[in-house]
């Protein structure tokens, strides 16, 4: 299509889908353009390569869970929290350590107040 001078415009809520299907991506919020560029350019603009969403027990110790994450992936950062969920960001360049973290979550998650991820 590009060689023929044509383009296709699509919408999605999933960056992974846009990454696979698009040469260029525009991100909009409430009708306003927030960012645009190639998928690789946009990925480089974010601090985190991965985000892990944790379903937590009400009585969990958030500091203990954060320490648990950082013991396995030193660059893990608690981005946000709600009464039922924690979101950790994993910075670029540390993805090789994620499998170790996932194994530890599977083995020890319920012991530290994690219901799932």
pLDDT tens column, 36-59: 999 888 877 777 878 899 999 988
Whole-model pTM? Answer: 0.65
CA distance linking residue 18 with residue 21, whole number of Å? 5
Tell me the domain boundaries of the chain. Answer: 1-46, 48-116
CA distance linking residue 43 with residue 68, whole number of Å? 27
Predicted confidence band at 16 (pLDDT cuts at 50, 70, 90)? confident
CATH class of 48-116: alpha beta
State the pLDDT at residue 71: 94
């Amino acid at each position: 299509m590009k060689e023929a001078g044509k383009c296709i415009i699509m919408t999605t809520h999933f960056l992974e889908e846009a990454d696979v299907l698009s040469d260029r991506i525009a991100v909009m919020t409430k009708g306003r353009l927030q960012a645009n560029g190639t998928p690789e350019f946009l990925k480089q603009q974010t601090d985190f390569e991965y985000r892990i969403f944790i379903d937590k027990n009400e009585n969990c110790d958030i500091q203990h869970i954060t320490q648990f994450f950082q013991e396995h992936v030193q660059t893990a950062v608690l981005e946000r929290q709600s009464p039922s969920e924690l979101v950790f960001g994993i910075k670029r360049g540390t993805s090789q350590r994620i499998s170790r973290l996932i194994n530890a979550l599977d083995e020890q998650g319920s012991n530290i107040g994690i219901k799932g991820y």
